[in-house]
A and B are shown apart, each in its own frame.
Chain A
Amino acid sequence: MLGTVLLGSESDCFCTPAAEGVTAAHIAQGPWPTSPRNNNLLPHPRAKSPPPPPGGVPAKPAAPAPPKPPVVLQTPLNNELVERVRAKFGPALVEATEDRKQAILTVECARLAEIALYFRDEEKFDLLSDLTAVDWPKREKRFDVVLNLYSFAKNERLRVKARAGDGEEVPSLHGVWPTANWLEREAFDMFGIVFAGHPDLRRILLPDEWKGYPLRKDYDIIEQDTAWVKENLGIESGQ
């Protein structure tokens, strides 16, 4: 399901049927009327009917609008940057896509450090805005380690992803961008991703002894390390 995600045009795909009758102009008129809770299935009280046509001739029902072409959100990307990366790293560049004008390069996890160094020095992506991860529990390699880079020289952003399996070691980028130190600790804390070569890979937000990785999708929203809570906070129920 990661491939091309198709959507209808934004005007209808994210609109509830009730929202269609309400234009922004109506909303702009003032506070919502006080009406029963379920009135969102009724036409908006202030929705205007179309003005009667001149001459009093009843208007014909309008023909249904032709279906709008679906918006393709993710398209393959093949610009100069991608070509340079492909020429230098070959198969280590797994995939290059563009999603809503954002270039996304998926690279081989084992060569991440080397590729990151190339992005910093050769392509001038000198700021690591963010390093985080996404969990796709049904995928064979369940994690995406996501780097969001920014280049001051080019005023451009670049997203780099590397897929990693559970327990697979991801090279630490601490030596490339020092700020990766804490960000990798966070990814370790929340997802249990191990960064090889990290100088101080400890939990950063949760207590050191905590069991479990909360941002994994199979960690429930009310799940917690009950034993830790009982022992350290003295709450018997664990809640």
Chain B
Amino acid sequence: MGERKPGDRERAITSVAKTSITDSGEKQHTLLGADELILNMGPQHPSTHGVLRVKLKLDGERVIGSECMIGYLHRGVEKIAEHRTYQQFAPYVDRMDYVAAVSNGLGYCEAIEKLLLVEAPVRARVIRTILTELQRIASHLLWLGTHALDIGALTPLFYCFREREEILKIFEKYCGARLTTHAFRIGGLQYEAYDTLEKDVERFCKNFESRIVEYEDLLTQNRIWLGRTKGVGILTSAEAIAFGATGPVLRASGVKWDIRKAMPYAAYDQYKFEIPVGTAGDTYDRYLVRMEEMRQSRLICLQAIENIPSGPILAKVGKVLSAQGRIGLLRCERRDGATVPRAHPATVVRESAIV
């Protein structure tokens, strides 16, 4: 062995480790010359809101592969639903996304109404729209505040929660709950709007216009924010569709599509609003789209409180509704003789076998 020169050892390591062999047998170029490191991020990690485990494949600090693992919060709600009536299951959907319980409730109630061929009265639909758009703002605010927090900006969190609190107070006044509201019922609403609902919503919307400007002042041109969101997580429009993305994620990828316009539900067909779209499909565009969506939600709320129609708030639906009772109901609906009295659907539910 010859004499060692300074730097030889470093060169030797680099030349050997620059191409390492991966599990699947292919050669992979690694930047730092270190072997790959498998690192578990989560399932409980402060930056994974919710419980997500990401198995990261690292080359130094560079992520060269990842595998997502879910299921840590799986509660088997479908199985629970098999053993509940439609009304009994309604509070469960609030818990599927507890920062957007109202929106979940709306989707669930509208779906059951479609099954039953029932339509909620127009007053109920307008109030549903107002509450759902407020919930959209509240949900976006929570996302914005925590996203900024994760990047290191503490102030937006306090600003966002300040406004979110106003919305939660409106929910609390309306139905007594702040998060898991169970605000709607199948067929309409259970509670009539409280006296000052319009005023509260109007006051919130008036204030909120300048508040969005405050958030944007802090973030939109912020160098760190730009550096951490621009060009990150790019999803092209074709990819977004192929992976089944919807909502703001799809719109940020440049697809001008909103289910509130494409297949209007509640009272969305009566109000004017724009669909914001992005161009690059990166995190920054998703941020811009959501900011604009909050503005549009505010406009929808303002239009809706202008004229809340009077009238009933609950359509005529049975007290016990169950998918399993459907066959049983067929039986008791024939009413072709005294031998088959009109049964209470609750008993029918119990009688009917699983088909």
Q: Is the CB of B312 within 8 A of A25?
A: yes
Interface of B is mostly: loop
- From known contacts A24-B312, A28-B314, A215-B78, infer whether A17 and B241 are also in contact, taking CB-CB under 8 Å: no
Chain A nearest CB from B80 CB (Å) reads 7
Q: A37 on the interface (CB 8 Å rule)?
A: no
Q: Is the CB of B116 within 8 A of A10?
A: yes
Q: Is the CB of A100 within 8 A of B117?
A: yes
Chain B nearest CB from A110 CB (Å) reads 25
Size band of the interface chain A makes with B: 35 or more
Interface residues of B in 102-124 (CB under 8 A from A): 114-118, 121
For residue A157, which residue of chain B has the nearest CB?
Answer: B263
Contact of B70 among A11, A136, A204, A219 (CB under 8 A): A204
Contact of B242 among A30, A136, A138, A177 (CB under 8 A): A177
Complex Cα spacing A178 to B242, Å: 6
Complex Cα spacing A19 to B317, Å: 8
Q: Is the CB of B333 within 8 A of A8?
A: yes
Q: Is the CB of B243 within 8 A of A7?
A: no
Q: Is the CB of B319 within 8 A of A28?
A: no
For residue A24, which residue of chain B has the nearest CB?
Answer: B312
Interface residues of B in 239-274 (CB under 8 A from A): 241-244, 246, 255, 257, 262-263
Q: Is the CB of B330 within 8 A of A7?
A: yes
Q: Is the CB of B115 within 8 A of A206?
A: no
Chain B nearest CB from A113 CB (Å) reads 16
Complex Cα spacing A15 to B330, Å: 13
Contact of A221 among B83, B320, B321, B342 (CB under 8 A): B83
Q: Is the CB of A177 within 8 A of B244?
A: yes
Q: B4 on the interface (CB 8 Å rule)?
A: no
Q: A1 on the interface (CB 8 Å rule)?
A: yes
Q: A47 on the interface (CB 8 Å rule)?
A: no
Complex Cα spacing A155 to B321, Å: 31
Q: Is the CB of A152 within 8 A of B316?
A: no
Complex Cα spacing A70 to B121, Å: 23
Chain B nearest CB from A142 CB (Å) reads 12
For residue A16, which residue of chain B has the nearest CB?
Answer: B319
Q: B43 on the interface (CB 8 Å rule)?
A: no
Give every chain B residue within 8 A of A127 (Cβ-Cβ). 241, 244, 246
Q: Is the CB of B355 within 8 A of A138?
A: yes
Give every chain A residue within 8 A of B335 (Cβ-Cβ). 67
- From known contacts A137-B354, A152-B255, infer whether A10 and B344 are also in contact, taking CB-CB under 8 Å: no
Q: Is the CB of B354 within 8 A of A16?
A: no
- From known contacts A1-B327, A10-B116, A221-B80, infer whether A40 and B319 are also in contact, taking CB-CB under 8 Å: yes
Complex Cα spacing A127 to B253, Å: 15
Q: Is the CB of B71 within 8 A of A205?
A: yes
Complex Cα spacing A91 to B126, Å: 47
Contact of B313 among A15, A19, A24, A71 (CB under 8 A): A24
Q: A214 on the interface (CB 8 Å rule)?
A: yes
Complex Cα spacing A23 to B346, Å: 20
Complex Cα spacing A1 to B319, Å: 25
Q: Is the CB of A14 within 8 A of B321?
A: yes
Q: A65 on the interface (CB 8 Å rule)?
A: no
Q: Is the CB of A15 within 8 A of B316?
A: yes
Chain A nearest CB from B118 CB (Å) reads 6
Q: A27 on the interface (CB 8 Å rule)?
A: yes
- From known contacts A10-B116, A10-B118, infer whether A155 and B316 are also in contact, taking CB-CB under 8 Å: no
Interface residues of A in 19-51 (CB under 8 A from B): 19, 23-25, 27-30, 40
Interface code B298-339, partner A: CB below 8 Å = 1, 0 otherwise? 000000000000011111111111000011011001010000
Q: Is the CB of B74 within 8 A of A205?
A: yes
For residue A20, which residue of chain B has the nearest CB?
Answer: B316
Q: A179 on the interface (CB 8 Å rule)?
A: yes
Chain A nearest CB from B110 CB (Å) reads 13
Chain B nearest CB from A172 CB (Å) reads 15
Interface code B72-92, partner A: CB below 8 Å = 1, 0 otherwise? 001010111011000000000
Q: B276 on the interface (CB 8 Å rule)?
A: no
Q: Is the CB of A214 within 8 A of B76?
A: yes
Q: Is the CB of A5 within 8 A of B241?
A: no
Give every chain A residue within 8 A of B82 (Cβ-Cβ). 217, 221
For residue B120, which residue of chain A has the nearest CB?
Answer: A24
Among A6, A67, A205, find the residue whose CB has the most chain B CB atoms closer than 10 A. Answer: A205
Interface residues of A (CB under 8 A from B): 1, 5-8, 10-19, 23-25, 27-30, 40, 67, 70-71, 100, 126-129, 136-138, 152, 155, 177-179, 190, 203-207, 214-215, 217, 219, 221
> Lowest 8 CB-CB distances: which A-B pairs, in order?
A24-B312, A179-B244, A14-B318, A205-B71, A8-B333, A205-B74, A24-B314, A10-B117
Could you pull out 19 A-B pairs where Cβ atoms are within 8 angstroms? Answer: A1-B327, A7-B329, A10-B116, A10-B117, A12-B333, A14-B116, A14-B118, A15-B318, A19-B317, A24-B312, A27-B313, A27-B314, A28-B311, A28-B313, A152-B241, A152-B255, A177-B244, A178-B242, A205-B74
Interface residues of B (CB under 8 A from A): 70-71, 74, 76, 78-80, 82-83, 114-118, 121, 188, 190, 192, 241-244, 246, 255, 257, 262-263, 311-321, 326-327, 329-330, 333, 335, 342, 344-346, 354-355
